Protein backbone atom coordinates (compact mmCIF):
# COMPACT_ATOMS: atom_id res chain seq x y z
CA UNK A 1 0.00 0.00 0.00
CA UNK A 2 2.97 2.34 0.39
CA UNK A 3 4.01 2.28 -3.26
CA UNK A 4 6.33 5.14 -4.17
CA UNK A 5 5.97 6.88 -0.81
CA UNK A 6 9.30 5.90 0.77
CA UNK A 7 11.38 8.59 -1.02
CA UNK A 8 9.05 11.51 -0.26
CA UNK A 9 9.75 11.90 3.49
CA UNK A 10 13.54 11.83 3.03
CA UNK A 11 13.40 14.38 0.21
CA UNK A 12 11.01 16.61 2.15
CA UNK A 13 13.27 16.74 5.20
CA UNK A 14 16.35 17.61 3.13
CA UNK A 15 14.91 20.53 1.17
CA UNK A 16 12.94 22.21 3.98
CA UNK A 17 9.65 22.10 2.05
CA UNK A 18 6.51 20.82 3.77
CA UNK A 19 4.51 18.58 1.44
CA UNK A 20 0.81 17.93 1.99
CA UNK A 21 -0.79 14.86 0.38
CA UNK A 22 -4.29 13.45 0.32
CA UNK A 23 -4.42 9.65 0.65
CA UNK A 24 -7.25 7.17 0.53
CA UNK A 25 -5.53 3.81 -0.13
CA UNK A 26 -5.47 1.23 2.64
CA UNK A 27 -7.95 3.13 4.81
CA UNK A 28 -11.25 1.54 3.79
CA UNK A 29 -12.03 4.41 1.45
CA UNK A 30 -11.58 7.13 4.09
CA UNK A 31 -9.48 10.16 3.16
CA UNK A 32 -6.60 11.40 5.30
CA UNK A 33 -4.32 14.39 4.85
CA UNK A 34 -0.64 13.44 5.17
CA UNK A 35 1.97 16.08 6.01
CA UNK A 36 5.67 15.35 5.32
CA UNK A 37 8.65 17.54 6.21
CA UNK A 38 7.63 18.91 9.60
CA UNK A 39 10.00 19.30 12.55
CA UNK A 40 10.87 16.02 14.30
CA UNK A 41 10.45 15.19 17.99
CA UNK A 42 8.44 17.05 20.61
CA UNK A 43 7.93 20.07 18.34
CA UNK A 44 6.07 17.84 15.89
CA UNK A 45 3.70 16.53 18.59
CA UNK A 46 2.92 20.10 19.70
CA UNK A 47 2.36 21.30 16.12
CA UNK A 48 0.26 18.21 15.36
CA UNK A 49 -2.08 19.01 18.26
CA UNK A 50 -2.44 22.59 17.01
CA UNK A 51 -3.17 21.51 13.43
CA UNK A 52 -5.70 18.87 14.51
CA UNK A 53 -7.53 21.53 16.55
CA UNK A 54 -7.46 23.88 13.55
CA UNK A 55 -9.11 21.20 11.39
CA UNK A 56 -11.45 19.91 14.09
CA UNK A 57 -10.34 16.38 13.28
CA UNK A 58 -8.44 13.49 14.78
CA UNK A 59 -5.08 12.32 13.62
CA UNK A 60 -1.75 10.81 14.55
CA UNK A 61 2.00 11.13 14.15
CA UNK A 62 3.71 8.07 12.65
CA UNK A 63 7.43 7.96 11.85
CA UNK A 64 7.73 11.75 11.75
CA UNK A 65 4.72 12.11 9.43
CA UNK A 66 1.47 13.77 10.49
CA UNK A 67 -1.84 12.20 9.41
CA UNK A 68 -5.11 14.08 9.91
CA UNK A 69 -8.50 12.52 9.19
CA UNK A 70 -10.32 14.11 6.25
CA UNK A 71 -9.19 16.37 3.40
CA UNK A 72 -7.77 19.54 4.97
CA UNK A 73 -4.95 20.33 2.52
CA UNK A 74 -5.91 23.93 1.75
CA UNK A 75 -6.55 24.89 5.37
CA UNK A 76 -3.26 23.34 6.55
CA UNK A 77 -1.29 24.92 3.71
CA UNK A 78 -2.67 28.39 4.45
CA UNK A 79 -1.92 28.05 8.17
CA UNK A 80 1.62 26.76 7.66
CA UNK A 81 2.38 29.47 5.06
CA UNK A 82 1.19 32.11 7.53
CA UNK A 83 3.77 30.71 9.98
CA UNK A 84 6.52 31.26 7.42
CA UNK A 85 6.92 27.71 6.06
CA UNK A 86 7.35 26.77 2.42
CA UNK A 87 4.43 24.48 1.54
CA UNK A 88 3.62 22.42 -1.55
CA UNK A 89 0.39 20.55 -2.20
CA UNK A 90 1.52 17.23 -3.64
CA UNK A 91 -0.31 14.25 -5.03
CA UNK A 92 -4.05 13.90 -5.59
Q: Name the pTM for this structure.
A: 0.78
Q: Taking the CB of residue 90, how many other CB atoms lie within 10 A of it?
A: 16
Residue 71: alpha-carbon gap to chain centroid: 11
Q: What is the pLDDT of residues 28-74, one digit of tens each?
A: 889 999 999 988 888 889 999 999 999 999 999 988 899 999 999 99
32-36 and 17-23: which strand pairing? antiparallel
Amino acid sequence: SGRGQSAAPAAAQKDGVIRIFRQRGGRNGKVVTVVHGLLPGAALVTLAAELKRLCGAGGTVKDGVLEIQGDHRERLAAHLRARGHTVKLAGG
